Structure 1
Amino acid sequence: MSALQLAIFDCDGVLVDSEIIAAEVEAEMLTEFGFEFTAGELGARFAGLTWGAIVKRLEEETGRAFPDDFAGKVEAAVKERIGREVQAVPGVHAMLDLVDLPRCICSNSATSLLQLELKRVDLWDRFRPYVFSAVEVGSKAPKPAPDVFLHACREFEVDPGAAIVIEDSVHGVHAAIAAGCRVVGFTGGKHTWAGHADALTEAGAETVIGRLADYPATVEALSLWRGD
């Protein structure tokens, strides 16, 4: 493998603690529609997927069709609450100060939401213009497709094997592995659940950390160990 040349960050659940907010809103609105989910159950099953993909899976599993405007209403409610409440994951600014690699964000969220939440926690200017929404760049295929990671590597002219990704979801880890990137799992968001670290390891993460404060040393260690 190549020496590390690019740090790729997932956003929701890694940089900003938004996954728990989204899961709470989604669980409330699904309950009103007749589905009994807790925020924790939603996070464990669907973290890292787009809301459209979640709705499609539920329709396939249950045979029930959601109203045409349901997904849009949920997305609007999530965006409104995130805009009011989202906080940075603890330690994110100090961590970024110590990771001495070019960096970008690869997320399934739309750019409009990414800009909203990143500006709220003073992170937008630390990444722009390298904030890539999977549903808006390249093939527009969301994770678990690897396309957004491959797009980022092309933008930086870096071999995927020289990129390190930090992800909090199994779907994100699968996408990064499929792209050929190296992956660190992260369980430091408020949406974490029992078995989260094991699930990320089983998905292919080389190691899993629970604090962003541990990420710079992890990057340094993986830079020395190339897996050759």
Structure 2
Amino acid sequence: MLVIFDCDGTLVDTEIIWAKASIEVFQEEDLDMDLETYNSTYAGMTNAEIVQLIEEELERNLPFDILERIDDRAMQKIDTMKVIEGAHEMLDQLDYPRCVCSNTASDRLESNMRRGDLWDRFRPYVYSAMEVGTKQPKPDPNVFLHAATVLETDPADCIVIEDSTHGVQAACQAGMRVIGFIGASHSYPGHGEHLMDAGAETVVRRLVDIPATIEALKNWHEK
């Protein structure tokens, strides 16, 4: 069995940082958006995808430098980043091979994971969707199928830990089972229901519950 983790919002509490930075910049462009709406609508998407979707909804272009402004604003806040509580304890208990599959660029993945002392617990099995396979981000299954191929594991024998509906959809399309995670700072009312609707078999609020949940799903599947 292979256990696949998303990173942002699952291992490191960065989704809230990017959400706040994005909202601040969007508000500078007179776009009225609150944190709950942002998280429930855009969590798990790349910034470029989010901007494209907003432009389509507005039927107008946003300033050409808006992605750079969001990045700059987020990097001003990145020192507040924390590892999600229980991450290291959970990894200490996990006996299965593991990897990370994310929509985040590999350089930023490494930076965020190093900040949380997580890099050496996964490297070299850390994959950025837009840098492997077909280069398609989640909700395309590309990055999950790439990981399964590299680690020589049948997708049906993979369990994915995801905090976003896009990630859950991608994993399900890859033929993998999914545990939804709703314990990060960007979680919102109805988050668990959204993940279950997208295909997660169950949800957890605490990372330390992941090993036992995996065993329960494994035993249920074998029966």
Say which of 120, 123, 126 aligns to 1:128: 123
Pick one of 5, 19, 43 that aligns with 1:23: 19
Instruction: Quote how far apart the aligned CAs of 1:80 are.
Output: 4.0
1:148-163 equivalence runs, <5 A:
148-163=143-158
Kept after mapping to 1: 8 A contact 2:5/2:100: yes
Provide, for residues 125-176 of structure 1, a one-character-per-residue CA deviation record: whole Å limited to 9, x for no partner: 1011111000111111000000000000001011100000000001100000
The sequence identity of aligned pairs, in percent, is 49
SS at match of 2:16: helix
1:68 has 2:54 as partner: no
Paired AA for residue 161 in structure 1: A
2:166 is the counterpart of 1:171: yes
Alignment partner of 1:6 is 2:2: yes
Go from structure 1 to structure 2 and tell me whether the alpha carbon gap of 1:58 and 1:227 turns closer, same or farther (over 3 Å shift).
Answer: farther
Match of 1:217, SS state, is: helix
Q: Cα distance, 1:40 vs. partner?
A: 2.1
> Equivalent of 1:140, from 119, 127, 135?
135
Query: Residues 80 and 114 from structure 1, CA distance in 2 versus in 1: closer, same or farther, beyond 3 angstroms?
Result: farther
Distance 1:6 1:80 in 2: 35
Of residues 71, 77, 81, the one that matches 2:77 is 81
TM-score (norm 1): 0.95
Per-residue deviation, 1:75: 2.1
Q: Which moved more, 1:197-206 or 1:70-79?
A: 70-79
1:147 alignment partner AA: N
**TM-score normalised according to structure 2 size:** 0.97
Q: Deviations 1:35-85 (Å, cap 9, x if unpaired)? A: 111222211110000000000000000112012221122123323422x11
- Equivalent AA in structure 1 for residue 95 of structure 2: D
- Equivalent residues of 2:44, 2:164 under 8 A apart: yes
Q: Which amino acid aligns with 1:85?
A: T
Pairwise CA distance, 1:227: 6.6
- In structure 2, the residue matched to 1:209 is 204
Structure 1, unmatched stretches of 5+, are none
Query: Hey, what's the Cα distance between the residues in 2 that align with 1:64 and 1:34?
Result: 13
Structure 2 counterpart of 1:45, one-letter code: T
Aligned partners of 1:75 and 1:139: how far apart in 2? 25
**Equivalent pairs, count:** 223
Alpha-carbon distance between aligned partners in 2 of 1:40 and 1:117, rounded to the nearest angstrom:
23
Gaps of at least 5 residues in structure 2 are none
Native 8 Å contact 1:7 1:164 kept in 2: yes
Contact 2:90 2:207 in 1 (8 A): yes
Following superposition, the deviation at residue 206 of structure 1 comes to: 0.5
Distance 1:79 1:182 in 2: 34
Amino acid at match of 1:164: I
Query: Which amino acid letter does the alignment assign opposite residue 50 of structure 2?
Result: I
Code of the residue aligned with 2:177 in structure 1: it is R
Q: Distance in 2 between matches of 1:195 and 1:30?
A: 24
CA distance in 2, matches of 1:56, 1:36: 17
Q: 2:23 is paired with a residue of what secondary structure? A: helix
One-letter identity of the residue aligned with 1:48: G
